[in-house]
Amino acid sequence: MIRVAVNGYGVIGRRTADAVAAQSDMKLAGIVKTKPDYKARLALEKGYSIYASDNQSFDTFRGAGMNVSGVARDLIKESDIIVDACPDGVGARNKTTYEELGRKAVFQGGEEHRVADFSFVAQCNFDQAIGRKYVRVVSCNTTGLCRVLHALDRAFGVKRARVVLARRAADPEESSKGPIDAVVLDPITVPSHHGEDVMTVLPHVEVISMAFKVPTTHMHLHSLIVSLKDSEASEGRVEEVIGDTTRVLLIEGKEGFKSTSSVMDYARELKRGRSDLFESVVWRDSIKMLDGELYMFMGVHQEAIVVPENVDAIRALAGGYTSSESIALTNSSLGILK
Ligand code: NAD
């Protein structure tokens, strides 16, 4: 059993903790929380051991009458691998402790590539991550793009991809974040960092991106234009390739998938925990070859897509699994459709 700690119990940490607890080859050693709120109470009710982030937080938990097993450092010592799901930049600071205690760690996309020196997407580069000390699971947008671009690159060769990202403005719980009535250019300058981030996983695939935020809390929508090396690539072949790609679902407008809200409605019907959609979705109707370039729309459920990647990243660091073994274990434990 791989003993796993989850440090940071927010959007990604809570989901990853549940996913780890669902693996037959992993044991969730505990989670780290900063304060004794309802999320901490629910974690205790699930049977998870809570560790306070530091001594001050430990006293706050005790003062609130909530049972904590120790502080973060205690949990790190008891674990083989840490999934660091703290806010952007905090993971980089935590690395000092992981190094000092000789523990392996999985960081998230809010950290710079250099924090782990290896950016991870299971179906793209699992084998190169085997046995490493640190990996960084890339952001939700980068994960979605890497899954599709890697598949297209293997089948046809990708000369260059251009991507426009309409990003959800905030996660559902973030009541103080906007915008409410605006589309925010983020960044105003071109390119955005997303394309460059894809190239930390797929260095030979040139990706240029631009991005803006829209007033929704569920899903990013990507518009892709991809130049393929294989001039014989047809819409039918592209559909086949994407249809065969794990963790990418083909959906269709004629089935009622007209917007991100119908995709999330579908996810709710799947009756997974929190209505999570771990797969990215590509609209079959949007796949078009025009003037030798491939066009498509893709949707990404930002809260969920990196969860299976974190589980696979743990196995890669632990060693002893092939990419396809790990992906199959993760997919079946999380009910991933294909
Ligand atoms: P979040 O704010 O929801 O959760 C972070 C949690 O860590 C919070 O509960 C916070 O209280 C806690 N925390 C803060 N300092 C801590 C410390 N010192 N020790 C332990 N816990 C601490 O953030 P999130 O959205 O889960 O993001 C986590 C990481 O995942 C970031 O790198 C982010 O960029 C990345 N990510 C986020 C999303 C998303 O859509 N939310 C998607 C993909 C990747």
**DSSP secondary-structure letter at 210?**
E
Domain 2-138+306-334 class, CATH top level: alpha beta
Residues touching ligand 1 (Cβ under 6 Å) are 7-13, 32, 34, 53, 85-88, 90, 108-111, 139-140, 171, 302-303, 306
> Up-side HSE of residue 55: CA atoms within 13 Å toward CB?
0
What is the pLDDT, as a whole number, of residue 216?
Answer: 97
CA of 17 to the centre of ligand 1 (A): 13
Contact assessment for residue 315 and residue 324, using Cβ atoms and an 8 Å cutoff: no
Considering only CA atoms, which residue is closest to atom 14 of ligand 1?
Answer: 86
CA 50 – CA 6 distance, rounded (Å): 10
What is the pLDDT, as a whole number, of residue 134?
Answer: 98
What is the pLDDT, as a whole number, of residue 337?
Answer: 85
- Phi/psi for 124 (5° steps) reads -100, -45
Q: Where in the chain is the domain with CATH 3.30.360.10?
A: 140-300
CA 245 – CA 237 distance, rounded (Å): 12
Contact assessment for residue 158 and residue 227, using Cβ atoms and an 8 Å cutoff: yes
Q: Which atom of ligand 1 is nearest to the CA of 35?
A: 11
Q: Which atom of ligand 1 is nearest to the CA of 140?
A: 43
**pLDDT truncated to tens, each residue of the chain (338 aa)?**
999 999 999 999 999 999 999 999 999 999 999 999 999 999 999 999 999 999 999 999 999 999 999 999 999 999 999 999 999 999 999 999 999 999 999 999 999 999 999 999 999 999 999 999 999 999 999 999 999 999 999 999 999 999 999 999 999 999 999 999 999 999 999 999 999 999 999 999 999 999 999 999 999 999 999 999 999 999 999 999 999 999 999 999 999 999 999 999 999 999 999 999 999 999 999 999 999 999 999 999 999 999 999 999 999 999 999 999 999 999 999 999 89
Contact assessment for residue 310 and residue 105, using Cβ atoms and an 8 Å cutoff: no
Domain 140-300: homologous superfamily in CATH? Dihydrodipicolinate Reductase; domain 2 (3.30.360.10)
CA 293 – CA 302 distance, rounded (Å): 27
CA 200 – CA 147 distance, rounded (Å): 13
Burial grade of 223 (CB within 10 A; 0-12, 13-18, 19 or more):
middle
Torsion angle, CA of 90/137/113/135, rounded to 10 degrees? 90
DSSP H helices in 204-322: 235-243, 260-269, 307-318
Q: Where in the chain is the domain with CATH 3.40.50.720?
A: 2-138+306-334
Could you give the 3-state DSSP secondary structure of residue 240?
helix
CA of 299 to the centre of ligand 1 (A): 22
pTM exceeding 0.75: yes
For ligand 1, mutation pick of 86, 90, 173 (most atoms within 8 Å of CB): 86
Q: Which atom of ligand 1 is nearest to the CA of 173?
A: 3
Q: Please say if 140 is a catalytic residue.
A: yes
